[in-house]
Amino acid sequence: MSVVGTGQFFGSPEEERDKLMRSLLEQKNKQSSPEGIPVVTLNDGNTIPQLGFGVFKVDPDEAERVVTQALEAGYRHIDTAAIYGNEEGVGRAIAKSGIPREDLFITTKVWNDRHLDVEAAFEESLQKLGLEYVDLYLVHWPAPKNGTYVQAWKQMEKLGDRAKSIGVCNFLPEHLDTLLAEATTVPAINQIELHPALQQRDAVEASKAAGIAIESWGPLGQGRYDLGAEKAIADAAAKYGKTPAQVVIRWHLQNGFIVFPKTVTRSRMVENLNVFDFLLSDEEMAAITALERGDRGGSHPNDLN
């Protein structure tokens, strides 16, 4: 796999953008193999495939089929969570795939009501997944009214090699400030809702400043708006012979974000991987970035407790 960035890859934007774009272009026609998906080096030295597959709202009864198809399409990075209720299906697909464990990157998350019980919650997830370790374990939400996310983090720091990397989701700058003031380990990742209409620039910049990589959830806007109706996206799609979704995934990749679009359709799985044979220009990137309008599709991090 080619390494396209690090958790601190934002220090020199122009140089990093050039390196990123060159490395991504080198992946042309390799998107169906694990070696064809670029990786990002995190601040702990571990690497994560930059393009993965999410299973939010995938029915537990369908999870095995869906993840099996994703693995067959070429995905090696699977993102699940305890609250999704589909870890067992994900685990069955992994077990039956025949893919060496070291070639996979598996993420799961601890839910808000287990902040004071992380060790037990983590072991439950491992058992459901049928794994001895996960590659990334995340605090799913800060749930600030509960006042427990720092305690959760301190327990996560003790998981050792059973969680190769640890990180957070949905942390705003104030949550990061509070955590970093007491943490021994800096989170490797901050997974936040991020798409052209909601770019959370304050959270992105705070994370970058701490060397924390950004992972985008809901990267295509969760269907809240028609990507193809946005002129900047539609124009690029027409120019490159791509779908609006492919253009937006490309926008994420060229911004250095880790991204994992979700679909239950095999053809879309393949389509979402077919994004390494074109590059958006600086002008096209800027036009898509200008679509920011604060259109949040999920909960506000201060409201979900």
Determine contact, residues 276/28, Cβ cutoff 8 Å: yes
Say whether 140 counts as a known binding-site residue.
Answer: yes
Residue from 75, 84, 137, 149 carrying the catalytic annotation:
84
**DSSP per-residue string spanning 55-66:** -TT--HHHHHHH
User: What token pair was written down for 285?
Assistant: 């990137």
Q: Token match 């099996």: residue?
A: 68
Q: 212, 7 in Cβ contact below 8 A?
A: yes
Query: Quick one: which of 158, 212, 205 has its CA closest to 180?
Result: 212
The residue behind tokens 């806007």 is 221
Q: Quick check: is 84 catalytic? A: yes
Radius of gyration of the chain (CA): 18
Look at the alpha carbons of 1, 56, 190, 152 in this order and tell me if their dihedral is positive or negative. negative
241 class by beta-carbon count within 10 Å (0-12 exposed, 13-18 middle, 19+ buried): exposed
Catalytic positions: 84
**Which residue positions form the known binding site?**
140
**Which residue positions form the known binding site for substrate?**
140
